[in-house]
Amino acid sequence: MEAMKLIAGNWKMNGLKAGAAELEALLAAEVPAGVELLLCPPATLVAAFAGLAEGSKLGIGAQDCHWEVSGAHTGDISAEMLADAGARDIIVGHSERRADHGETDAIVRRKAEAAHRAGCTPIVCVGETLAERDSGETLAVIARQLEGSVPEGIAGLVVAYEPVWAIGTGRTPTTEQVRQVHAAIAARMPAGTRILYGGSVKPANAAELLSVPHVHGALVGGASLKAADFLAIAAGAAT
């Protein structure tokens, strides 16, 4: 049987308490067959959203974590804290964290290990910049990021392929480009690893992107902020 497609929303640094209205709309909707829904709000909303979503089919996750359990790291949040707040999954190594906070593959790897240690599923992001794609380095970059940032032996770990140039730009790779990278990731990961595509996924392109071989779901930024759009993307993944 084909594994469930995972449609994950990444709200990034968006969302106040009033955002619970979008969550309520998600909770009121029917989750399409063959689809698993996950929403990763900012850390400030994880506990409240996890409480509201309890007992529903909607998972609540987080966007980042520190690698230590606790300690003198002002402003940081550990995976254990996020798990305690109700996070089921934790995104690590998003390109915005790699770029804005200088996160290296080694740091991302420690964060993925921390998520697993806390009982959460790590969603490890990889992806090339436009300069790397234009110079023909895409597959080498992806291989290096996987090698450096994905710990071995974590059952259920999820990989997200997010070409940096496709994030928030409205540009998406061709289905052939997606197929090529996802096949390369699948070849390097244990069988059964789910590989998400992320970068300008919208209701209009979701079904096409999700039909590409080795695309097991989507990591959705901007379009996850509106429940109607997020649900339309999930409908595009329905079996």
Q: Which residues are catalytic?
A: 94, 162
Q: Does 168 bind ligand 13P (CB under 6 A)?
A: yes
**Contact range with ligand 13P by CB under 6 A, out of 26-34, 76-84, 97-105, 161-169:** 161-169
- Number of residues engaging ligand 13P in binding (CB under 6 A): 14
Quick check: 151 and 92 in contact, CB under 8 A? no
Q: Find the shortest distance in angstroms from Cβ 56 to ligand 13P.
A: 22
Task: Select from 198, 215, 227, 229 the one that contacts ligand 13P (CB under 6 A).
Answer: 198
Residue type present at position 87? A
Quick check: 188 and 221 in contact, CB under 8 A? no
Q: Find the shortest distance in angstroms from Cβ 55 to ligand 13P.
A: 27
Reading the block at residue 35, the tokens are 């689809």
**Contact range with ligand 13P by CB under 6 A, out of 23-31, 140-148, 180-188, 219-227:** 219-227
Task: Select from 141, 222, 227, 233 the one that contacts ligand 13P (CB under 6 A).
Answer: 222
Task: Select from 200, 212, 214, 234 the one that contacts ligand 13P (CB under 6 A).
Answer: 200
Binding string to ligand 13P for residues 115 to 134, with x set by CB under 6 A, is what?
Answer: --------------------
Q: Does 193 bind ligand 13P (CB under 6 A)?
A: no
Binding string to ligand 13P for residues 5 to 44, with x set by CB under 6 A, is what?
Answer: -----x----------------------------------
Q: Does 167 bind ligand 13P (CB under 6 A)?
A: yes
Write the secondary structure of the chain as one string of H (helix), E (strand) and C (coil): CCCCEEEEEECCCCCCHHHHHHHHHHHHCCCCCCEEEEEECCHHHHHHHHHHHCCCCEEEEECCCECCCCCCCCCCCEHHHHHHHCCCEEEECCHHHHHHCCCCHHHHHHHHHHHHHCCCEEEEEECCCHHHHHCCCHHHHHHHHHHHHCCCCCCCCEEEECCHHHCCCCCCCCHHHHHHHHHHHHHHCCCCCEEEEECCCCHHHHHHHHCCCCCCEEEECHHHCCHHHHHHHHHHCCC
Q: Find the shortest distance in angstroms from Cβ 1 to ligand 13P.
A: 27
Binding site for ligand 13P (CB under 6 A): 10, 94, 162, 167-168, 198-201, 219-223
